[in-house]
């Protein structure tokens, strides 16, 4: 297997220490090496104080969101050679407080996301021609959103207006409107129908681009707008 040395220019910051700075590490990579694995190799072999978030290593948990060469990515599914650069720049996500190195504080994300109250399970739409196994009412699966915050990091509005609800929370709200699963969508529609709700989006669709999990938050924001417009018209015409 082909191996190459790649330089990783990594954002470093420790609380109470020096100002944030970049530090470069050289790592031997092969065709299978992901950015996350390279960062772990740095921690093991070169600097045990480098910290990052990670868990599942296959884009199912959403913890290893970071900026790689200026793009929002999950480090676990970006192969280093696919980047085609001899230096890979790795930075924490934007629009979130940095705790240290590549670790951001996810608190503000969950403050907004929890308000949408989206159930975490949905009826599976895969292989829907199949008989359901005895004893089950329907095949239930986990929702697509993995709460990685990449859409929030990529959103140009989030950077200028911290009161904006942001793509992840708005997409979660749409899931409830689209498939209420016994919940009342009305209060959620009222919540997103505001200056800092779905009307704040400038339709840059950076969130769609960044989403690693097929949620397409930008599309969901537009769906919310259509639903609100529809309801306003209905009220206007007394229906």
Partner 1 sequence: MGPFHAVIIGGGGTGAAVAHDLTLRGMKVTLIERGELTSGTTGRHHGLLHSGARYAVKDKESAVECIEENTILRRIAPGSFELNDGLFVAITDEEVAYSSEFIESCQECGIPVRRLTHTEVLAREPNVNPAIKLGVQVPDATMDAMRMPLRFFATAKHNGATIKPYTEVVDFVRRGNAVSAIRVRDHTSNKEYEIGGDIFINAGGAWSGRIGAMVGVDVPIRPSPGVMLAVYGRLSNMVINRLHASGDGDIIVPQRALSVIGTSSWVVEDPDNLGLPEDHIQMMIHFGSELIPAVRTAKFRAAWSAARPLIGPRGADTGRELSRTFKCFDHIDENVEGFVTITGGKATTLRGMAETTANVVCAKLGLAKPCQTREFVLLPHTAYYV
Is 126 or 237 the residue whose CB approaches partner 1 more closely? 126
Q: How far is the CB of 26 from partner 1 (least distance, A)?
A: 18
Q: ∠ at Cα 18 (34, 98), nearest 5°?
A: 50
Q: Which is nearer to partner 1, 145 or 207 (CB)?
A: 145
In the complex, least distance from residue 199 CB atom to partner 1, rounded to whole angstroms: 26
Cβ at position 131, least distance to partner 1 in Å: 4
Report in angstroms how near the CB of residue 208 gets to partner 1 at its nearest: 16
Q: In terms of CB distance, is 61 or 222 closer to partner 1?
A: 61
Instruction: Name the minimum Å distance from CB 81 to partner 1.
Output: 14
Closer residue to partner 1 (CB): 63 or 223: 63
Nearer Cβ to partner 1 (26/141): 141
CA distance 41 to 39: 5
CB count, 10 Å around CB of 190? Answer: 11
Q: Contact residues for partner 1 (CB under 8 A)?
A: 1, 14-17, 32, 34, 37, 40, 44, 48-49, 51-61, 63, 76-77, 99-101, 103, 106-107, 109-111, 113-114, 119-121, 124, 126-127, 129-144, 146, 213-214
Say how far apart CA 143 and CA 7 lie, in whole Å: 36
Cβ distance 104 to 93 under 8 Å?
yes
What are the backbone angles phi and psi of residue 206, rounded to the nearest 5°? -65, -30
To partner 1, the closest distance from the beta carbon of 130 in angstroms equals: 6
Nearer to partner 1, 119 or 156 (CB): 119
Alpha helices in 28-155 (DSSP H): 35-45, 107-116, 150-154
């Amino acid at each position: 297997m082909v191996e190459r040395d790649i330089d990783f220019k990594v954002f470093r910051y420790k609380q109470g220490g020096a100002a944030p700075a970049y530090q470069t590490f050289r790592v031997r990579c092969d065709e299978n090496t992901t950015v996350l694995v390279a960062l772990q190799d740095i921690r093991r072999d070169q600097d045990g104080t480098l910290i990052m978030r990670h868990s599942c290593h296959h884009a199912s948990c959403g913890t290893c969101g970071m900026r790689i060469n200026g793009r929002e990515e999950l480090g676990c599914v970006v192969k280093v050679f696919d980047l085609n650069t001899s230096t890979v720049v790795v930075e924490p996500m934007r629009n979130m407080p940095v705790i240290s190195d590549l670790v951001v504080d996810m608190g503000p994300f969950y403050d907004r996301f929890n308000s949408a109250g989206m159930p975490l399970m949905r009826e599976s739409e895969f292989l829907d021609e199949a008989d359901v196994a005895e004893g089950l009412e329907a095949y239930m699966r986990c929702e697509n959103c993995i709460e990685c915050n990449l859409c929030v990091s990529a959103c140009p509005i989030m950077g200028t207006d911290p009161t904006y609800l942001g793509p992840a929370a708005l997409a979660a709200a749409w899931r409830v409107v689209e498939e209420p699963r016994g919940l009342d969508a009305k209060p959620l529609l009222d919540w997103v129908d505001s200056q800092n709700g779905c009307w704040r989006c400038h339709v840059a669709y950076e969130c769609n681009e960044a989403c690693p999990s097929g949620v397409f938050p930008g599309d969901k924001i537009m769906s919310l707008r259509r639903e609100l417009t529809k309801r306003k018209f209905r009220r206007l015409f007394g229906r």
